[in-house]
Amino acid sequence: MSESALNQAATFAAIASGGLLWILEGAMPFFKGRRNRLRHAIPNLAVAAFNAALSATLLIGSLGVLAWVRPHWQGLRGLFENDLLASIALVVGYDFWMYLWHRLNHQVPFFWRFHRFHHQDEAMDVTTGFRFHPIELALSELLRLPALMLLGMGATELALYNLLAFPVILLHHSNVALPERLDKALAIAIPSPNLHRVHHSAKREETDSNYGSLLSIWDRMFGSLRRRDDFVDFRFGVDERL
Ligand SMILES: [Zn+2]
Ligand SMILES: [Zn+2]
């Protein structure tokens, strides 16, 4: 698939999975009795529209840097002769960077100042998956450059990552009530909705866990996976903070 076809597919996957999850949240909500869903969604989607334009602009600069580096340095990609294997390795490697970056956003007070905007949503649903502070996005774009160079990522692998990650990220933010066994089965591979609910708890010791974006393996490998037996007495948001 070409880079532009992958980008179109990623945009379509985000819109289609977002729309489907929004409908399912109405039909089978995990936390019931939510009113004014639209009023809650509008600011999150307005931020998303601004961020989409900002990301697209910053990405032009990043891709320019990567294209300039590529003839001199292949990165991890250079170790693979097979294109498919290279793409898989790069997508997995980039997801590891996303895990580290998310963890840094919680552990470095300067980064948390912007990342907490994502956590301040007290009624997490699929639209929270689009809610990020624009400065967090700008910092992320800048600071991921060394990781992208190390891996040898290009526009195609980034588009492939987005295609895979967007639906997963929207699913784990959604307020859809999945059967518990299905949630647990999903959690073997990806951060499931129940795992990401724990991440959005108002209690700091729960917030600082389950950092995965596409794959849940990193939380398992680095001891940051945390479950809850139930969601009685559970609250979204941010209690105390720096
Ligand atoms: Zn977080
Ligand atoms: Zn989140």
The predicted-structure confidence for 113-124, as pLDDT tens digits, reads as follows 999 999 999 999
Q: Can you tell me the distance from the alpha carbon of 24 to that of 28, in angstroms, rounded to the nearest whole number? A: 6
Asked whether residue 241 carries a pLDDT value surpassing 60, the answer given is no
Question: How far, in Å, from the CA of 117 to the mean position of ligand 2?
Answer: 10
pLDDT tens for 72-101 read 989 999 899 999 999 999 999 999 999 999
Residue whose C-alpha is closest to residue 211's, from 228, 197, 196: 196
Question: How far, in Å, from the CA of 128 to the mean position of ligand 2?
Answer: 7
Question: How far, in Å, from the CA of 212 to the mean position of ligand 1?
Answer: 9
Question: How far, in Å, from the CA of 59 to the mean position of ligand 1?
Answer: 22
Question: How far, in Å, from the CA of 189 to the mean position of ligand 1?
Answer: 19
Asked whether residue 22 carries a pLDDT value surpassing 70, the answer given is yes
Residue whose C-alpha is closest to residue 31's, from 173, 129, 169, 166: 173
Question: How far, in Å, from the CA of 151 to the mean position of ligand 1?
Answer: 24
* Domain presence at residue 72: yes
**In contact, 188 and 222? CB cutoff 8 Å:** no
pLDDT band at 2, cuts 50/70/90?
confident
How much is the pTM? 0.94
CA geometry: angle 17, 4, 158, nearest 5 deg: 70
Q: How far is CA 242 from CA 106, 112, 211, 235, in A?
A: 11, 9, 20, 19
Q: How many CA atoms lie within 13 A of 219 on its CB side?
A: 25
* Domain presence at residue 120: yes
Q: Can you tell me the distance from the alpha carbon of 68 to that of 166, in angstroms, rounded to the nearest whole number? A: 28
Question: How far, in Å, from the CA of 229 to the mean position of ligand 1?
Answer: 21
* Domain presence at residue 203: yes
Question: How far, in Å, from the CA of 5 to the mean position of ligand 2?
Answer: 27
Q: Can you tell me the distance from the alpha carbon of 190 to that of 194, in angstroms, rounded to the nearest whole number? A: 11
Question: How far, in Å, from the CA of 196 to the mean position of ligand 2?
Answer: 6
Residue 132, domain extent: 3-221
* Domain presence at residue 181: yes
Residue 242 has what pLDDT? 47
Residue 1 has what pLDDT? 73
Question: How far, in Å, from the CA of 105 to the mean position of ligand 1?
Answer: 7
Question: How far, in Å, from the CA of 193 to the mean position of ligand 2?
Answer: 10
Q: Which pair of tokens denotes residue 26?
A: 């109405």
End-to-end CA distance of the chain: 45
pLDDT tens for 106-145 read 999 999 999 999 999 999 999 999 999 999 999 999 999 9
* Domain presence at residue 239: no
Ligand approaching nearest to the C-alpha of 209: 1
Residue 3 has what pLDDT? 83
Mean pLDDT for all residues in the chain: 95
* Domain presence at residue 25: yes
Question: How far, in Å, from the CA of 208 to the mean position of ligand 1?
Answer: 7
Question: How far, in Å, from the CA of 168 to the mean position of ligand 2?
Answer: 11
**In contact, 158 and 77? CB cutoff 8 Å:** no
Asked whether residue 240 carries a pLDDT value surpassing 80, the answer given is no
* Domain presence at residue 101: yes
Question: How far, in Å, from the CA of 8 to the mean position of ligand 2?
Answer: 24
Residue 222 has what pLDDT? 98
CA geometry: angle 19, 210, 138, nearest 5 deg: 65
Q: Which pair of tokens denotes residue 129?
A: 């998956």
pLDDT tens for 159-216 read 999 999 999 999 999 999 999 999 999 999 999 999 999 999 999 999 999 999 999 9
* Residue 176 bridge partners (DSSP): 29
Question: How far, in Å, from the CA of 71 to the mean position of ligand 2?
Answer: 36
* Domain presence at residue 232: no
Residue whose C-alpha is closest to residue 212's, from 224, 194, 227, 197: 224
pLDDT band at 239, cuts 50/70/90?
confident
Average pLDDT over residues 46-55: 96
**How many domains is the chain built from?**
1
Residue 167 has what pLDDT? 97
Question: How far, in Å, from the CA of 73 to the mean position of ligand 2?
Answer: 34
CA geometry: angle 66, 159, 187, nearest 5 deg: 120
